Structure 1
Amino acid sequence: MLRTTAAHRALWRFGRPLRDGRYSRQLYEWSGVTERVAQFWSHSWHGSVVAKVLLLLVMYNGLPAVLVGSAAVAITLLLQHACLLPCSIERNGQSAMAVGVGLLASSLTFVLWRSGKQVFLDIICIHQTDQKLKMMGLLNVGAVLKKSDSLLVCLDDTYITRLWCVLEMGAFLKSNGQEGINIKPTIWGVSIVILFLSASGIMLGASVVGAILRQSAGVTTILGDGQRLGFLLWAILGSIAVPGSVITLLLVSRSLRAHFRAVDRIVKQLETFSIKDDTVSHCCTVNHLDRHTGEKIPCDRVILEKCLVLWFGSVQAFNEFIQNELSEIFKKLTTSTVPYTWIVAAGSPLLWFYAGTATYHLRTENYKSAARMAFYIPSWWLAIGPTYLQLFVCLVRRVRRLRPSACQEVLVNLGCSICGGFIYLAFAFFEGFWYTTFGTDVPSMAAFSLVVMTICALIRSACCMPCMPIRRAT
């Protein structure tokens, strides 16, 4: 009964085993017997499937995607620098090419990468049509969890209300302790994908418009001098980017505030948790009838309560265990933000853009500008960008309380969005002040990079400080 499958099997065709229940009934042959489970996937079948699949793709294919994309950019720029590819492209055109190559390579890798990590996914590793094998698999879930090195919790609003989900977390916690529990909200996967695509779009737009501006300088067009065309294009780009950024931050604020309120509800619910009153099982919601065949199916709750008596001594002992142990784990989520490394990876288009610019300076023997770029790139990619996003998440977390009217909710989300704009302007103002005061030579850029990284590290530490829980979260 101890079986695993390769992660890429579960994520095949954008997670088809997780999306198509009828198709997933035939996937038992994709699993094999093993002695240990590298990671047990615990998830709710009633949350957003797209968000769940995106989270898993980010976790298993995200790093390979960024590495392959960056390698493709590096190879392209090296070949261009050696004039094995067309090397007459000007600075913005080269940046556009770098971002385009990185976006294409990373996107293909993100979708097609075949992770071989062995995981336990119930729909594959437990037989879905042979009732005897299925029953044996269900009864042995506790043993599978004991043999698992880690537990990945794909957290959404429905997770803590599902009987199986609570059982899996409780059984793993009792067998292995808190060390291997890895809770990831599904909203993080969606946020990272949106961030990566937005960064790619902004960098591509800026480089393309910049290239047109440079190429059209001094050229006569129907609008007059080509310089005027360039400024018009910048105005059009700005008129699209600014409202688009405001709307994007507004929607992100809405989603993040809902997520933090959900975490508050979970923490409060776990303080008085009762498996009888606070969880539901799928079999009871369908009147114990298989929706595909119409056959009678056994009640999971009856089976699992017997297992709980064997594992914990009584159902009440399990309830108390959840109240005391599991609630402590979820309290940590009230101060958590998207991991720093994820934000850095999502900001890779920024690296690719400036790598193209730096390569152009090297090709034109402008070595001072190339050296300045070597300090400018990490300032924004590794420090300012991630810190800006974590500051925004911290702000949203502290105003997460649900307002009494829809109008007030919109105003709060809009306020968060506007504050996000001011946070960006604050970083941009500090950068402009530094360059005006100390210049833009290499020593000044190196000092700027050091100061910015230090300040941003302190800000990120402050963002992780806990805030008061909201007792009336809804």
Structure 2
Amino acid sequence: MVPWPLEPEPVPGMDEEMAVCDVITSPGTLLSEDVDPLLIRGVPLDLCMQSWGTHFSTAESKNVNTRMRMSYSLSRTTDTIDCFLSHDWQTSRWKKTVALLVIFNSVPAAVTSVLVSTLASVLLCFDLLPGGWITGGCLGYFSFNLVFFFWQRLRRILCCRRTMVFFDRICIAQHDEHLKQEGILSLAGILAQSRKLVILWSPHYFTRLWCTFELGAFLKDSESEKPVEFLPVSVALQLLLQSAFMTALCLAVHISLYIEEAAAVENSSDAALLFFLIWVLPAGLGILPVLLHYGLQHLEDVQQLGEQLANFSVRDAGCTCCTVDHCDPATGNQLLCDRELIFRTLKRWYRNSALDSGEKDHHLVRFDALVRERLSSSVLPMVGAGVPPARYRMALYLPLLTAVFPHYLHLGRVRLRGWGVEHWFMAYGAFAATALLFFWLCFFCCRFSVKKIRKAVPRWVVIPFLQSLILLLTFTFWIPFRAVLRRTGSSLAGGVVMSCMWLILACIYSTQPLRACRKIGQ
């Protein structure tokens, strides 16, 4: 074995550069889990997300060093880190920001909006709501959007405890080479101090060395019960677009029913229905194609995930330092070799089993096995067949449905069309069922297209076909209820049709977990 050569005498004026080279080449350099408490830094989530995720941007800007210094000043030392944000730098800042809004803000926004709409409905029943149903509906929509987009800032204003996250660009000094080295070498320890790992996944994620190491370091302890939040950025955008389409649909309902009530003449419901269809058509032509585009993209991405995990090799994962030949393009300084750091850390993790096996690269083989087996069992169930997580679906659908309720309650009280409160309750139930069927159709048609059609037909042909099919099936699902209730006027007949609608919906949604399990097993 060739001994490590003696260190040469430092050249005057070159001490800082030599220190960097020592860290790069020293065989003792590795990622330690024993971290100086001063290096455990976090940043409030509202600052991390400010200016629509400007800190996630990879665009070059002037005064880079000043910007890096200002970003680092946003972080602070902390005893605990609530969430460690794991992401790749190839994904758009906008997609990551939307994903963070869905993860951290959607549930509080839904709870707030539902409570506000419920309170407004109660006040409306006792004629205590100024402005009537219009005020109730506006409060429901406004409260949801206010909390969804600004919840983290509201927590700061209300003096609530702020969510502290670890975000590499802010919490690791980028302007000071020595501090940057210390921060990078402390990543394993920072992960150990984090309560939760949040993964903003894209198809690039498992091709990046650091991303895989972060997830592996978080899950390597088999007894650890720390949660992992795994959300594809494409599904977050899809959910937001579905919410936008649903908002347009609710506005169409409000305006068409308002026109019908204001006209107060026979057959005004036909004119209102015509207006409703005219209003929905632009939403269907404008928002729905974009929604289907990202839905198809999401399901295609999920198909890649299983293959990435099954064929994963840490030796093939990419890292920026090796791409630029360990030289910072902006400053010309030498960079730490991330691959060497991670490989040495893996060797320390598995040194006992490596001695038993005698295999040279046993630590790399063990880490590959961790990714392929442990991560496959923990990640794939979160993604399933590509179905968005149920809590986020309900968080984005339910507030919009409850915001419509005060209007239906008002129509029952004024007996529009001669219908009482019970008739309008059934009409509201039919509308909610139709909206939920629409969301299911979007997912089902996208998945069917990816599996059966997409390989043979270009997307610009598939999307108009799916768009027409979804709108046709949605309208077909709803029109029997309207026809029966209008022809008979019987609450019993309308109740039977509405019950059948919800029964069909329950059968459809109850089979989704079974299909997801079969997808995982394939």
TM-score, scaled to structure 1: 0.81
The 5 Å alignment of 1:95-106 reads: 95=134, 97-106=135-144
Counterpart of 2:474 in structure 1 is 424
User: How big is the shift at 1:172?
Assistant: 1.4
User: How big is the shift at 1:207?
Assistant: 2.0
> SS where residue 400 of structure 1 aligns?
helix
User: How big is the shift at 1:371?
Assistant: 4.1
Structure 1 unaligned runs (5+)?
A: 219-225
> Which whole-Å CA distance do the structure 1 matches of 2:273 and 2:437 have between them?
27
> Which whole-Å CA distance do the structure 1 matches of 2:68 and 2:127 have between them?
51
> SS where residue 5 of structure 1 aligns?
strand
Counterpart of 2:304 in structure 1 is 265
User: How big is the shift at 1:384?
Assistant: 4.5
Counterpart of 1:356 in structure 2 is 407
Larger Cα-atom Rg: 2
**Alpha-carbon spacing, 1:133–1:392, altered in 2? closer, same or farther (3 Å):** same
> Aligned pairs, how many?
453
**Alpha-carbon spacing, 1:25–1:234, altered in 2? closer, same or farther (3 Å):** farther
Counterpart of 2:72 in structure 1 is 28
> Which whole-Å CA distance do the structure 2 matches of 1:340 and 1:376 have between them?
25
The 5 Å alignment of 1:2-21 reads: 2-19=40-57
Does the 8 Å contact 2:415/2:421 carry over to 1?
no
Counterpart of 1:197 in structure 2 is 244
Does the 8 Å contact 2:109/2:144 carry over to 1?
yes
Counterpart of 2:91 in structure 1 is 47
Counterpart of 1:124 in structure 2 is 170
> Which whole-Å CA distance do the structure 2 matches of 1:452 and 1:112 have between them?
36
Counterpart of 2:159 in structure 1 is none
User: How big is the shift at 1:61?
Assistant: 1.6
The 5 Å alignment of 1:28-427 reads: 28-73=72-117, 94-95=133-134, 97-114=135-152, 116-175=162-221, 180-216=227-263, 235=274, 238-242=277-281, 244-246=283-285, 248-277=287-316, 279-313=317-351, 314-332=363-381, 333-347=383-397, 348-362=399-413, 369-374=420-425, 376-377=427-428, 380-381=431-432, 383-401=433-451, 403=454, 408-427=458-477
Which deviations, in whole Å up to 9, do the C-alpha atoms of 1:42-71 show, x marking residues without a partner? Answer: 111210210110111122122232333444
> Which whole-Å CA distance do the structure 2 matches of 1:445 and 1:236 have between them?
23
Does the 8 Å contact 2:245/2:288 carry over to 1?
no
Give the counterpart letter for 1:324 in structure 2. E
**Alpha-carbon spacing, 1:432–1:367, altered in 2? closer, same or farther (3 Å):** closer
Does the 8 Å contact 1:391/1:460 carry over to 2?
no
User: How big is the shift at 1:141?
Assistant: 1.9
Give the counterpart letter for 1:144 in structure 2. I
> SS where residue 152 of structure 1 aligns?
strand
User: How big is the shift at 1:122?
Assistant: 1.8
Give the counterpart letter for 2:253 in structure 1. A
Give the counterpart letter for 1:399 in structure 2. S
Larger displacement relative to structure 2 (43-52 or 361-370): 361-370
Give the counterpart letter for 1:398 in structure 2. F
> Which whole-Å CA distance do the structure 2 matches of 1:13 and 1:75 have between them?
33
**Alpha-carbon spacing, 1:320–1:340, altered in 2? closer, same or farther (3 Å):** closer
Does the 8 Å contact 1:338/1:390 carry over to 2?
no
> Which whole-Å CA distance do the structure 2 matches of 1:235 and 1:375 have between them?
21
> Which whole-Å CA distance do the structure 2 matches of 1:409 and 1:470 have between them?
28
Structure 2 unaligned runs (5+)?
A: 1-38, 156-161, 352-362
> Which whole-Å CA distance do the structure 1 matches of 2:367 and 2:69 have between them?
31
> Which whole-Å CA distance do the structure 2 matches of 1:384 and 1:231 have between them?
19
> Which whole-Å CA distance do the structure 1 matches of 2:42 and 2:423 have between them?
50
**Alpha-carbon spacing, 1:292–1:299, altered in 2? closer, same or farther (3 Å):** same
> SS where residue 44 of structure 1 aligns?
coil
**Alpha-carbon spacing, 1:337–1:147, altered in 2? closer, same or farther (3 Å):** same
Which deviations, in whole Å up to 9, do the C-alpha atoms of 1:298-331 show, x marking residues without a partner? Answer: 2222222222222244223212322222233444
> SS where residue 318 of structure 2 aligns?
coil
> Which whole-Å CA distance do the structure 1 matches of 2:180 and 2:446 have between them?
44
User: How big is the shift at 1:461?
Assistant: 2.2
Does the 8 Å contact 1:156/1:185 carry over to 2?
yes
User: How big is the shift at 1:280?
Assistant: 1.5
User: How big is the shift at 1:374?
Assistant: 4.5
Counterpart of 2:5 in structure 1 is none
> Which whole-Å CA distance do the structure 2 matches of 1:160 and 1:27 have between them?
27
Give the counterpart letter for 1:413 in structure 2. I
Which deviations, in whole Å up to 9, do the C-alpha atoms of 1:205-244 show, x marking residues without a partner? Answer: 33224324443567xxxxxxx989x977864653452354
**Alpha-carbon spacing, 1:342–1:421, altered in 2? closer, same or farther (3 Å):** same
**Alpha-carbon spacing, 1:259–1:189, altered in 2? closer, same or farther (3 Å):** closer
> Which whole-Å CA distance do the structure 1 matches of 2:467 and 2:182 have between them?
52
Larger displacement relative to structure 2 (46-55 or 194-203): 194-203
Does the 8 Å contact 1:5/1:125 carry over to 2?
yes
> Which whole-Å CA distance do the structure 1 matches of 2:105 and 2:418 have between them?
36
Counterpart of 2:354 in structure 1 is none
Q: C-alpha root-mean-square deviation of aligned residues, in Å?
A: 3.7
User: How big is the shift at 1:462?
Assistant: 1.4
User: How big is the shift at 1:345?
Assistant: 2.9
Does the 8 Å contact 1:77/1:98 carry over to 2?
yes
User: How big is the shift at 1:165?
Assistant: 0.8
> SS where residue 394 of structure 2 aligns?
helix
> Which whole-Å CA distance do the structure 1 matches of 2:41 and 2:194 have between them?
11
User: How big is the shift at 1:355?
Assistant: 1.9
Identity %: 21
Does the 8 Å contact 1:200/1:349 carry over to 2?
yes
**Alpha-carbon spacing, 1:4–1:376, altered in 2? closer, same or farther (3 Å):** farther
> Which whole-Å CA distance do the structure 1 matches of 2:168 and 2:85 have between them?
8
